[in-house]
Structure formats: structure tokens, C-alpha cells
Structure 1
């Protein structure tokens, strides 16, 4: 793990209609990630120096990218809610909720499956989301109340579905296996925000945390805007309300599904 990742990181292809603060944050994230890969080895990117606001260890790659995004939030005079630094009050009615590098372990290792995900929130209500795949520059954008250019698969049945799942932790092994048995295809990519975008565009039928409570609101915020706009739903396995909250120690087991019917089948299987 001593070598550097030499492949360049492109600028994100964000749509021109996206909120300027989101576009700038995505661009800052991509460039900071590219600089981090050029200056640090894989081992250095994965090093942890402190505990973030979400209660988990902060990797160097997270810290470097989040710092660039925080500077962007100050320049645009919007508040920031991010997994490592927590809530930063810049005296605005607008808050940018971000996961700076979703898939941090992938990003530090050089696995090209990580993304920036950001949501604009006005007085507690999400209004717009932007997810950008860091290694390719590809972006997904959605505005509440407006149609998107992509749609979910429309699948309603779990049997034969293409699922994204978290890796099978021992405590959720039984529910993980019940889902896997009924699915036609299972993928474990290690990046919730990117997998949610793939559900929104119909590449996956659903993405599930089968009861491990691994998700913070920054993991699910973009999906809460993007997936319903594409015809899908986002729920918690245990039916806890998904709320934008500055307490990043709160956890959910997210279900991102192509249809309400499929989400219900998944939840029944996990809880049963």
C-alpha cells in the first residue's frame, strides 16, 4: 500500500442548472482528491488521525477533501453539514449537506468507486441534490418537484432483482443471505451514494443495508431527493423517519428501491 495512485481525477460534469455552491463543492472535492492522490501514498491516504462528528475515524483522504469543501461553503456563504467536521454555521438559511468522499476505503486504496454527494437544504427541507463519481466525472442531478432525465427500473418484485448490498457483517448475515438468495444478482461496491444513483437510473433495482444501521444522514440525503424524482423510494428498514439532522451519530438502515412495492418486499424479508 506504499505506492501512489497515478491515474488523474477529472473535473465533474455537473449540469449548468445545478446550484453554484453544489457545483463548486463537487469541483473542489474532485480537485482536492486528485491532489491528495498525487501527494500521498495509498497508506497515507488511509491513515486516521482523529474521530469525526459521525463518531468514526477520519481518514486523511476525507480530511483533505472536506477541507476544500468547507472553504467552498464559506465562499458561497452557505452552512455546511459534513460527516467529519459536523455542522458549520455560516449564518445562512441554506445548508449544504455533503458526503465529501463516499467510499473512503475505495478512494484510499485506488478502487475507482467513490463519489461526492451534496444536497442543498433550505430551512431543513432538501431542495436539490448532486452526486458526482470522482474517478469518471459523471454526475447525477435532481431538483425536488422536477422530473429527472433518468428513471428507476420499475421493478416491484424481489425475486430476480439486481441488488446492491453492504458487505455481510456477522450481525446481519441471516438477513443478508435471505436477500441474496432471492436476488438474481448481488453487488457489493462499498459506496452508498453511488449505488443510490445507480438505483435512480435503473442500473440497480435496489440498494440495502439489511439491518446494520450503517447509514448516517449524509449517506442518504442525496438519495432522498434523487430517487423519488426518478420514481423510486428511500426508506429505513425499521421505519424510522429519515430526517436532516445535525446529529451525525444517528443511524439508519437505508433501503433505496425502484418502487414502493419492492422496498416493502425487501423490508419484509429483512425483518422477517
Structure 2
């Protein structure tokens, strides 16, 4: 893997509490805590530093000997970006540091995608970047759990939504079970990169009406007038772990016996 012509850090928010899976970062996958798998993905991407920002010392202890730094943060953060803003302040990262926010429940995140979101940010002037991938089916387009986005000709995000987006009027007037050709349907991938200075500023911004309506934190940046650069993922991002069934699926995939 060739080194990138810039440095970036990966910060992994890992909250112990979880409604569906308490202690989720510590769930064993192949005998290894999930947060360790995620950290290994970040290290494989070539980050100059990997930090896990957590509210629980047990998660920190699980990372002993991995070469990953641990930042103990508050337990009352509303989002991962809020937790990472505290982490950035603790560690004193300069404002221009590229920080990749890799979710702590993404043990299969490809190293190429981690590098791609950092490169998307580094290549332009937007203070924030993320990734997208073409939608595979009409079922995905109409699934509110699948976040869609549209972007401008320069690659910057215009909007993110849980609703079908865009809406090809004539094609969908005839049928809605197939995606019409030639329409740029994109699924959002929830990995972000920010400059550290913007990360701290973003966390301080007040929540916005569209953010609250869609329950999509990235809309806060757009509503406050900040650009988000959108790159295309170079390879698929497998789903993360939200349920016990997800954990079992990831375990099969890591064992090479996925069904």
C-alpha cells in the first residue's frame, strides 16, 4: 500500500452503552473485541495515529498492546462527532489535522474506504467529507434506514434524506420496482473526515430543523452553510453491527464462511 501524500488520524467513537447491544464495543468477534477489529482496520489504512474515544475504561483496557491511543471522554455526548470534538481538544490536534471519524461498530470497514474519505477532504476546500456508493435496488431507495444523497457537479452534497432521492417523475409514474437508468441514485456511507478545527466548531453548532426531522446529523453542517465533499467508495462497505444477528454475520465473514 503506497503512502498517501498527507497525514491523517483516525478517531473511533466507542460508547459502552447501547440500547440493543449493551457493551457493544467489547462484543467478541472471533474471540477479539469488536473495537479491536475496528482499530486494526484504521491501522491498516495507514493512519499516522489511531485513537479510540470512549466513555468506559473497560474499552480502553481492551486496546492495551494494540498501538492504539485511548481518550477517555464524557458519558453524556449526544453523538459520535461530539465525542470526537472532546477528543480533539484533549489531544490538542492542530486545526488543519485531517480526522477520519470511523464508527466503532464497523469491524469490516475497508482500509481503502478510510483512505478515500481522507483523500476526498484533502483534495478540496470543503471542511468536511464523506462517501457514497451507487444504490443497488429500488428496495434500498424506498428503505428509510438507507440514507440517500444528491450531490452537485463539483461533488459537494446538496442534500441527505431517508426519503427516496432523487425522484424521477416520469419513470416512477409508470413503475417503482426498478431503478431507471441514467439517474444518479447514491447511498450514503456513514464515514466522515473533517479538519480538526471544523470538528470542534461543528460540535458547537446548534441542532437544526432538518437535522431533527430526518435524524441525520450531517444536515446540521449543510443548514449552517458548510460544504460537505462526497467521494465515491472504492469498494463496498459491509453493514455494521447493530444486532446480535449482525455480530454473527460479521463473525462468519471474518472466518471466511459467510452464507
- Considering the TM-score relative to the shorter chain, is it more than 0.5? no
TM-score, normalisation: structure 1: 0.30
TM-score, normalisation: structure 2: 0.31
